[in-house]
Amino acid sequence: MQEKGYSRRDFLRFCAFAASIAGIEASGLNTVVAAFEHTPRPPVLWLHFQECTCCSESFIRSSHPVVADIVFDVLSLDYTETLQAASGHQAEKCLHDTMKTYAGKYIVLVEGSVPLANDGVYCCIGGRTAKDILLDVTQDAAAVIAWGSCASFGCVQNAKPNPTGATPVHQILNKPVINVPGCPPIADVMTGVVTHLLVYGRTPELDSRGRPKAFYARRVHDTCYRRPYYDAGMFVESWDDDKARKGYCLYKMGCRGPVTYNACAVTKWNGGVSYPIQSGHGCIGCSEDKFWDNGPFYQHLASFPGFGIESTADTIGKVVGVATAVGITAHAITTNIRKKSLIDEHREESVEGGEI
Amino acid sequence: MAKRIVVDPVTRIEGHLRIEAVVENGRITEAYSAGTMVRGLEKILIGRDPRDAWAFTQRVCGVCTTVHALASVRTVEDALGITVPKNAELVRNIMYCTLMVQDHVIHFYHLHALDWVDVVSVLSADPVETSKIARSISKWPKTSPAYFKAVQDRIKTFVESGQLGIFANGYWGHPQYKLPPEVNLIGVAHYLEALEWQKEIVKIHAVFGGKNPHPNYLVGGVPCSFNMDEVNAINAERLNLVGRLITEAIQFVEHVYIPDLLAVAGFYKDWASIGGGVSNYLSYGDLPTRSYNDIDSFKFPRGAILNRNLNEVHEVNARDTEEIKEYIAHSWYRYTGGDGTGLHPWNGETQLNYTGPTPPYDYLNVDEKYSFLKTPRWKGHAMEVGPLARLLVAYAQGHEEVKEVVGEALARLDVGPEALFSTLGRTAARGLEARLAVHWLKGFYDELVGNIKAGETRTFTPDKWDPDTWPQTAEGVGMTEAPRGALAHWIKIKDKKIDNYQLVVPTTWNGSPKDPKGQRSAYEEALIGTPVADQNIPLEIIRTIHSFDPCLACAVH
Amino acid sequence: MADVQTAPSYKRVYVWELPVRFYHWVNALCVFILIITGFLIGNPVSISYSTEAYQQYWFGTVRFLHFVTAFIFFFNFMFRIYWGFVGNRYARWTNFIPHKAAQFKEMWEVLKVDVLQTSLKGEIHVGHNMLAGFIYFISFLVFLFQAITGFALYSSMSSAWLPQQFTWVVALMGGEFAVRQWHHTFMWFFIVFVLIHVYLVAYHDYIEGRGTTSSMVGGWKFVKESRLKGEA
Ligand code: HEM
Ligand code: HEM
Ligand code: NFV
Ligand code: SF4
Ligand code: SF4
Ligand code: F3S
Ligand SMILES: [Mg+2]
């Protein structure tokens, strides 16, 4: 450990971090250290499909632990098209060597969705389809992590009309998949999930959608520092208005924090510097399934499909409400005309007041 | 004897690129560049709110994150006639320069360096000697023998573990690696340092845009507000953080990136005559110092150069439907008007039409359609875009700052300007540009601080936010210079919705397949004549391809 | 006096038992509050205070009212479902879910008489007419939907047992955004329902003149002896 140019103190700090996210107390730290020191670095294969590679970019922004420490000391990143030295068949050999040597012991990280339309021709690597590669590589995997909203939910390419049949990983595989959604996910959440897996050799506790509870159990809204403004009813009403400059709640600007599960407001981004709301823009719900089809992003509910931009349920509701009122009025008028005889009959039946 | 070799996947790039190259007598005589993944974003954008387009197009790429958002908000602002406040322009410029510097550094160290730096040779380096070399080329503080020894030990332990991870099956020991072990050790040490540093500079994006990758943008300005008397807004503390990060970035570029670049380049001067490619260069220009609508105020000027003629810079007009056109003769698309035609992006179409081999396949059918990239042409010419094009256009226009840094670098390397038209020239141009950008970054920051001091804090123009203020139909184009080159988005708006949206992206220009006339685009042309020492090891191919910094998610979208 | 002789004689019928009336008015009040507070949650009025956020809680109060009312609404509704099995003939489910040919015919008749007004005089019903019953049945389904989506949304704000029974809804509908969108949209059903419902109650009172409105207060309706087909 000491020889790696990074001090034992650094390593212990990393272990303490890993342990803290895993929820073990400091007294259990030694076992964690031992677990790392006596195992070879677990092999990891990172697959790239329909993606924008921002999940990889996010991963390398990890601040604790820093990515060099992960890649050199924690795990063995045997395949990732973004960073690996070898190209072409030399790269493919890396993939196949690990699959063979470590069958059942390697971890597969998937970035990007898998296009299923047209027999998968919309994403091919080395002449094979993404689907083919995914099924092949995950066959003997010890665990599968779906990075980002692409691999977890399909993300932007899965938005209507989904021209390539972009499909999330869990819908293709018959094995459990850890979903780490976000577009991209927070760097420290990504490394947090990976280290959790490696410390225990088993998956972190997941919710019904396969997301680690540690980071996806609460809505952004539940931990947002602007929440007091929400409860007070103090809202930004136009970009850069007086209220925006005081940092009021962004609900009326379309903030999706109330319907979005993510750790942004707690873990924050880029080593804790900020998160979307802190920098003035509402949450767009980037870790939620189908968030792209929930637009426009600047109203907290979606436009109604088939109607124009900004025609929300309210626009339509108002129209229906007014139509109802008009209908009632019309009905009342015709009643008085058409049913005049009936009403007159009632009047005739009626007994003069005071007689009884 | 001719042999077609295939490199797929090309790694250390963004996305899915496949190169097929015909090698005859140790040299490449024909090349085919193919993008093998498509998502169909241009189709997905149709019918959506134009104010949302930035978020969709930003997801085109997480590597050059922000440039598509920038092009998109400019496109919509152009269509609707919105001018953003001065501060919003400055914040955009700051975010732009931040990306430019960060992306170029990552490219040099993490995507390109291993083409020139032999990691395994580091084991035989002498740390004392390494320290001496490092101190002779730079004032960077981390240059002690003990420091280099620690790095060397780390690599040694790593290699001895038998698990080579990302370095497995690299081309180590290939005769084309020419650096002495000590310079390789410096390279590896800085590979690690750059990895740590890149996560710092992007904090500037987090301050103004809330996160990186994919910070937030806004049609009409920027979403953050300034309020010096409020903890919930951009205040002195936030600006101080940005200021510190900029200072550190200047240090890193001046004392690590540039010295390393020149040191490495010195050993590979033969690559100054390889990989020249098409001889036409295009730049849309960017970094407005007054307003985006005032092209003369741009730090990067707009223009086109034909046949390497630096004495004439042609005007470029993205609105002229005869200038920029996209072709699909060799692309897996269909045009309503026939596959031989070219379409200006305002009339562009994106109809998928895969006609390639059924996977799994060994070779593409390169005589027909063979890529998901469309083929853009400017007045019928194949153009190279990117840092080199930008520097050349600026250089040819007599741009003082550019002439100075280019001249200085050429002198240090003892080569003439013709060396720029090459694989090495492209890689050098990227570094020089990062150097310019990091100082401009400081300039924009100072200007922003000055504005705030003078009481100017507006960041948003509200009058056209409400769709009810929009005309029934509108069209716009938004241009920028992405790290990889000229980027523009074209929009047509109808009834408050996107009616058509087309992106023509830097890597589309450079990496596209042949046009209907059979003209090669930049990647293919640059490979012609490249020597290939061992047909089983594609090192030379990826050197030239990497010099363009390919981004295929961008190129196809 | 002659008039008195010719006037038909009416009989009192006890139609709405106390539990039904109680349910009805509690429900009416809840729906009223839920519409107003729900509308405000969807479209809040922004108030700019000179004070700090922590000194105010108006939006929180609106939401609190919505949730408290929601619980009352829910249990009241559950009670009504129960009463549909044990209440009197007018309260029972058979009056709500058309299953006999005669009931479908009745719906058509009512439509002709009261809505289209193509025929002028129709049967006067003691309990609900079949069309009204059926519409109440549909609205009961919407009550249920609104309660399910409401509690699904609430499940992220409360670890209490009841809301936690609804977490599956969020997964089923593909995320909280969709749940919210539907919950919001169905508010308009309630608004339209109340408008039409209150109008029709008034209409029947006007046309039939036998105290429909007050029947929901006292429970009694007046039925012409001549028209009573042994219903009472
Ligand atoms: C928020 C407002 C209201 C709601 C949600 C509502 C809902 C309902 C429901 C669900 C029923 C069916 C009752 C059952 O069988 O259990 C009903 C019946 C009835 N409601 Fe309401 N009601 C509202 C307001 C009113 C008002 C303001 C009146 C009159 C003053 C009224 C008078 C009646 C009468 C007379 C019936 C029996 C109607 C029939 O037999 O067709 N309701 N109402
Ligand atoms: C007549 C019945 C109801 C109506 C008309 C109604 C209406 C609404 C509306 C319009 C909203 C705002 C949605 C938006 O724009 O985002 C809302 C929110 C909500 N409603 Fe209801 N609702 C009803 C019943 C319920 C019930 C039975 C519950 C059960 C707990 C419930 C729980 C909620 C919750 C939790 C919210 C979200 C509040 C927040 O996050 O601040 N609602 N409702
Ligand atoms: N090509 C490209 Fe990009 C860039 N730079 C964008 O416009 O990389 Ni992802
Ligand atoms: S989830 Fe979002 S950020 Fe990640 S690859 Fe997909 S589009 Fe990019
Ligand atoms: S800004 Fe968004 S997440 Fe924060 S309190 Fe307001 S609505 Fe909730
Ligand atoms: S947009 Fe995404 S980054 Fe967080 S605040 Fe919202 S989930
Ligand atoms: Mg395009």
B6 forms beta bridges with B20
Percent residues over pLDDT 70 in chain A: 85
- State yes or no: pLDDT of C232 exceeds 60: no
- Any chains having at least 3 CB pairs less than 8 A from chain A are B, C
CB B541 within 8 A of CB B550: no
Q: How far is the CA of A312 from the centre of ligand 2 (A)?
A: 16
Distance CA B524, CA B20 (A): 9
DSSP label at residue A269: B
**At residue B478, what are phi and psi to the nearest 5 degrees?**
-120, 130
- State yes or no: pLDDT of C162 exceeds 90: yes
Average the pLDDT over B230-253 and give the result.
Answer: 98
Mark yes or no for CB contact A355/C1 under 8 Å: yes
Residue ranges and CATH numbers for the domains of chain C are 10-47+54-231 (1.20.950.20)
Per-residue pLDDT, C3: 46
Q: How do residues A287-318 score in pLDDT, each as one tens digit?
A: 999 999 998 999 988 877 666 666 778 888 88
How wide is the angle at C-alpha B66 spanned by C-alphas B63 and B71, nearest 5°?
120
A206 forms beta bridges with A212
3-state helix, strand, coil in chain B (%, to 5): 45, 15, 40
Ligand 3 pocket test: which of B17, B57, B64 has the largest number of ligand atoms within 8 Å of its C-beta? Answer: B64
Mark yes or no for CB contact B52/A297 under 8 Å: yes
Find tokens 């904090």 and name the residue: B203
CB B215 within 8 A of CB B65: yes
Categorize the per-residue pLDDT at C49 as very low, low, confident or very high, splitting at 50, 70 and 90. Answer: low
Chain A interface test: which of B169, B174, B229 (most A C-beta within 10 Å): B169
Residues with Cβ within 8 Å of residue C15, at least 6 apart in sequence: C88, C90, C126, C127, C215, C219, C220, C221
DSSP label at residue C112: I
Long-range contacts of C106-109 (CB under 8 A, 24+ apart): C106/C130, C106/C131, C107/C131, C107/C134
Per-residue pLDDT, C55: 85
Of B202, B97, B70, give the one whose Cα is nearest residue B480. B70
Percent residues over pLDDT 70 in chain B: 100
- State yes or no: pLDDT of A24 exceeds 70: no
Categorize the per-residue pLDDT at C208 as very low, low, confident or very high, splitting at 50, 70 and 90. Answer: confident
Per-residue pLDDT, A321: 87
Partner-chain residue, chosen from A229, A290, A316, that has the shortest CB–CB distance to C175: A290
CB A54 within 8 A of CB B63: yes
Q: How do residues B331-379 score in pLDDT, each as one tens digit?
A: 999 999 999 999 999 999 999 999 999 999 999 999 999 999 999 999 9
Residues with Cβ within 8 Å of residue C28, at least 6 apart in sequence: none
Q: How do residues C23-44 score in pLDDT, each as one tens digit?
A: 999 999 999 999 999 999 999 9
Please state the ipTM of this predicted complex: 0.94
Find tokens 């009352």 and name the residue: C72
State the average pLDDT for chain B.
Answer: 97
Distance CA A265, CA A2 (A): 36
Pocket of ligand 1 (CB under 6 A): C 20, 23-24, 27-28, 31-32, 80, 127-128, 132, 136, 139, 194, 197-198, 201, 212-213, 215-216
Distances (CA, A) of B209 to A33, A278, B51, B444: 38, 9, 16, 17
Q: Lowest mean pLDDT: which of A103-117, A190-204, B328-342, C214-228? A: C214-228
Pair of tokens at residue B88: 């919003």
Q: Lowest mean pLDDT: which of B400-404, B470-474, B489-493, C103-107? A: C103-107
- 3-class SS of residue B394: helix
Per-residue pLDDT, C6: 56
Q: Lowest mean pLDDT: which of A340-354, B152-166, B354-368, B499-513? A: A340-354
Query: Counting every residue, how long is chain B?
Result: 557
Of B222, B240, B224, give the one whose Cα is nearest residue B232. B224
Per-residue pLDDT, C228: 60
Residues with Cβ within 8 Å of residue B421, at least 6 apart in sequence: B276, B277, B279, B308, B388
Average the pLDDT over C111-130 and give the result.
Answer: 84
Per-residue pLDDT, A308: 65
Distance CA B346, CA B223 (A): 28
DSSP label at residue B90: H
- In this predicted model, which residue has the larger pLDDT, B347 or C229? B347
- State yes or no: pLDDT of A38 exceeds 60: no
Contact A65 CB / ligand 6 (< 6 Å)? no
Mark yes or no for CB contact B48/A124 under 8 Å: no
Distance CA C175, CA C182 (A): 11
Distance CA B321, CA B378 (A): 10
- Is the bond preceding B301 in cis, omega lying within 30 degrees of 0? no
Per-residue pLDDT, A306: 64
CB A110 within 8 A of CB A146: yes
Average the pLDDT over A123-145 and give the result.
Answer: 97
CB B111 within 8 A of CB B64: no
**At residue B434, what are phi and psi to the nearest 5 degrees?**
-60, -35
**At residue B32, what are phi and psi to the nearest 5 degrees?**
-130, 125
Categorize the per-residue pLDDT at B277 as very low, low, confident or very high, splitting at 50, 70 and 90. Answer: very high
Partner-chain residue, chosen from A231, A259, A300, that has the shortest CB–CB distance to C57: A231
- 3-class SS of residue B110: helix
CB C8 within 8 A of CB A349: yes
Per-residue pLDDT, A356: 46
CA-A220 nearest atom, ligand 6: 5
- In Å, how far from its chain's centre is CA C111? 20
Distance CA B515, CA B329 (A): 6
Per-residue pLDDT, B440: 98
Pair of tokens at residue B17: 């690129």
Residues with Cβ within 8 Å of residue B532, at least 6 apart in sequence: B5, B21, B23, B26, B27, B28, B538, B540, B541
DSSP label at residue C160: S
Q: What sign results for the dihedral spanned by CA atoms B97, B99, B100, B102?
A: positive
DSSP label at residue B261: H
Distance CA B320, CA A32 (A): 65
Categorize the per-residue pLDDT at C116 as very low, low, confident or very high, splitting at 50, 70 and 90. Answer: confident
Element (H, E) at B494: strand B485-494
C12 forms beta bridges with C222
Pair of tokens at residue B347: 């009339």
- State yes or no: pLDDT of B480 exceeds 50: yes
Q: How do residues A45-90 score in pLDDT, each as one tens digit?
A: 999 999 999 999 999 999 999 999 999 989 999 999 999 999 999 9
Categorize the per-residue pLDDT at A39 as very low, low, confident or very high, splitting at 50, 70 and 90. Answer: low
Q: Lowest mean pLDDT: which of B415-419, B468-472, C24-28, C156-160? A: C156-160
From the number of C-beta atoms within 10 Å of its C-beta (0-12, 13-18, 19+), residue C129 rates as buried
Of B60, B23, B64, B61, give the one whose Cα is nearest residue B45. B60
- In this predicted model, which residue has the larger pLDDT, C111 or B345? B345
For the CA of C210, the nearest ligand: 1
Distances (CA, A) of A193 to A71, A335, B535: 15, 69, 41
Mark yes or no for CB contact B169/A166 under 8 Å: no
Most confident of A216-220, A319-323, C218-222: A216-220
Residues with Cβ within 8 Å of residue B51, at least 6 apart in sequence: A296, A297, A298, B76, B219, B465
- State yes or no: pLDDT of A3 exceeds 60: no
Q: Enter the pTM of the model.
A: 0.92
- State yes or no: pLDDT of B3 exceeds 70: yes
Pocket of ligand 3 (CB under 6 A): B 14, 61, 63-64, 67-68, 482-484, 487, 505-507, 551, 553-555
Of B101, B107, B66, give the one whose Cα is nearest residue B200. B101
Per-residue pLDDT, A313: 80
- Ordered alpha helix ranges (H), B268-324: none
Terminal Cα distance for chain C, rounded:
29
Pair of tokens at residue A184: 């991209």
Per-residue pLDDT, A319: 87
Distance CA B202, CA B249 (A): 10
- State yes or no: pLDDT of B501 exceeds 50: yes
Where are the strands (E) in A22-113, listed by range?
43-48, 76-79, 106-111
Mark yes or no for CB contact C3/A352 under 8 Å: yes
Contact A264 CB / ligand 5 (< 6 Å)? no
Categorize the per-residue pLDDT at A349 as very low, low, confident or very high, splitting at 50, 70 and 90. Answer: confident
Most confident of A55-59, C47-51, C117-121: A55-59
Long-range contacts of B294-298 (CB under 8 A, 24+ apart): none
Categorize the per-residue pLDDT at A22 as very low, low, confident or very high, splitting at 50, 70 and 90. Answer: very low
- State yes or no: pLDDT of B147 exceeds 70: yes
Q: How far is the CA of B469 from the centre of ligand 5 (A)?
A: 28
Ligand 4 pocket test: which of A145, A155, A158, A167 has the largest number of ligand atoms within 8 Å of its C-beta? Answer: A155
DSSP label at residue B354: -
Q: How far is the CA of A151 from the centre of ligand 4 (A)?
A: 8
Distances (CA, A) of B216 to B55, B210, B268: 8, 7, 41
- In this predicted model, which residue has the larger pLDDT, A353 or B362? B362
Ligand 2 pocket test: which of C61, C153, C182 has the largest number of ligand atoms within 8 Å of its C-beta? Answer: C153
